[in-house]
Amino acid sequence: MSPLVGRLAESVLYGVAVGRRAATAVDSVMERWRQAMGSRRTGAAARLLPHLVAQPVTSVAIAAKALGVSERQALNVLDEACEAQVVSPCGNRRRGRFFQATELLEIVDAVGAEDGLRRALPR
């Protein structure tokens, strides 16, 4: 096997390992969120969780559009998510209300960190 093919194969395995690790972490976070949201897991509250995976920092306006509800309803859902410690407010209110899913941002940071990537390498 040529050195180029060998490196390519290593890189693919590395990428798969990192992806699996991140997916497992996201699945774990989502399960905790589902439990934390409890009875609010129906309707817009249930649709909020996958939206946060796609966009871990969101505004009331963006969440309303993604959830297909009014901004008032989106704010109510985000407030419930704050109470359940799924999201927390961030930024200032001059440009609207923003919320972040800190646990997801930490996963993204860990994947992007060199040490996080090295730990994911298959041995």
pLDDT of residue 7: 82
Q: How many domains does the chain have?
A: 1
CATH number (domain holding residue 27): 1.10.10.10
pLDDT of residue 4: 86
State pLDDT tens for residues 18-74.
889 899 999 999 999 999 988 665 689 889 999 999 999 999 999 999 999 999 999
Residue whose pair of structure tokens reads 């976070």 in the numeric block:
29
Residue numbers of the domain that contains 105? 3-120
> Is the separation of the CB atoms in 49 and 34 below 8 Å?
yes
